[in-house]
Amino acid sequence: MVDQPTPRYFFKISVVGDKAVGKTALIDRYVNRKFEEDYISTMGVNITIKDITSDENYIQLMLWDIGGSEKWMNVRNMFYKGTNGIILVYDVTRPATFLNVTHYLQDMEETIQKKVPFILIGNKVDLEDIRKITTKNAEELMKTSNAVAYFETSAKTGDNVESAFQLIAEAVFNSLNPQGGEEKDFI
């Protein structure tokens, strides 16, 4: 058995969005390389750890799967504290989840009170026949909200899941270790 190196960096990544957009499924696909058809709502928060290597840097991602149900709205803000990066997820088949993205951004900006990188994910692209949100609309939101990137993913098939998590890890690393002293404009 090969020993895993001790991580040099520890990043808290908050994964947020409305209930049933696929936050837990995305994390499960990324960490365990599997997809569960059965949906179980996250109660408050679920924390999953994933060790990665990026450009020879050993990083431990603490993925905070924050419940999207309205009953967690009053405590959700305390889960945002200490966040280094954000993955904001909506369901491409449910327009209300896309419209709520701006509410999550506003909540996080008010709570975190520092600039952190975030990416926008449109999940469930495997359901193309019932898709409601266009790529163009999502890309416009990405630009106006200063997201680092926009990904269209499918937790079911695994499309773009690895790339999205890898990019947020790199964006957090770069924001904490700026090269050239350039200030980044995140939320």
| CATH code, 64 | 3.40.50.300
pLDDT of residue 113: 79
How far lies 96's CA from each of 4, 93, 120, 150, 181, in Å?
42, 9, 15, 18, 39
Q: What is the pLDDT of residues 55-106, one digit of tens each?
A: 778 899 999 898 765 655 566 567 788 999 999 999 999 999 999 999 999 8
1: helix, coil or strand? coil
In a domain, 145, yes or no: yes
pLDDT of residue 181: 43
Residue 111: partners with Cβ closer than 8 Å, 6 or more residues away? 77, 80, 81
In a domain, 182, yes or no: no
84 with 116: CB under 8 angstroms?
yes
Q: What is the pLDDT of residues 166-179, one digit of tens each?
A: 999 999 999 987 66
Closest-CA residue to 89 (of 11, 30, 6, 3) = 30
User: Looking at the 3D structure of the chain, how many domains does it have?
Assistant: 1
How far lies 56's CA from each of 5, 59, 178, in Å?
11, 9, 17
48 with 122: CB under 8 angstroms?
no
In a domain, 153, yes or no: yes
pLDDT of residue 39: 67
In a domain, 53, yes or no: yes
86 lies in which domain range?
Answer: 9-175
In a domain, 1, yes or no: no
Burial class (CB in 10 A: 0-12, 13-18, 19+), 107: middle
Tell me the pTM.
0.87
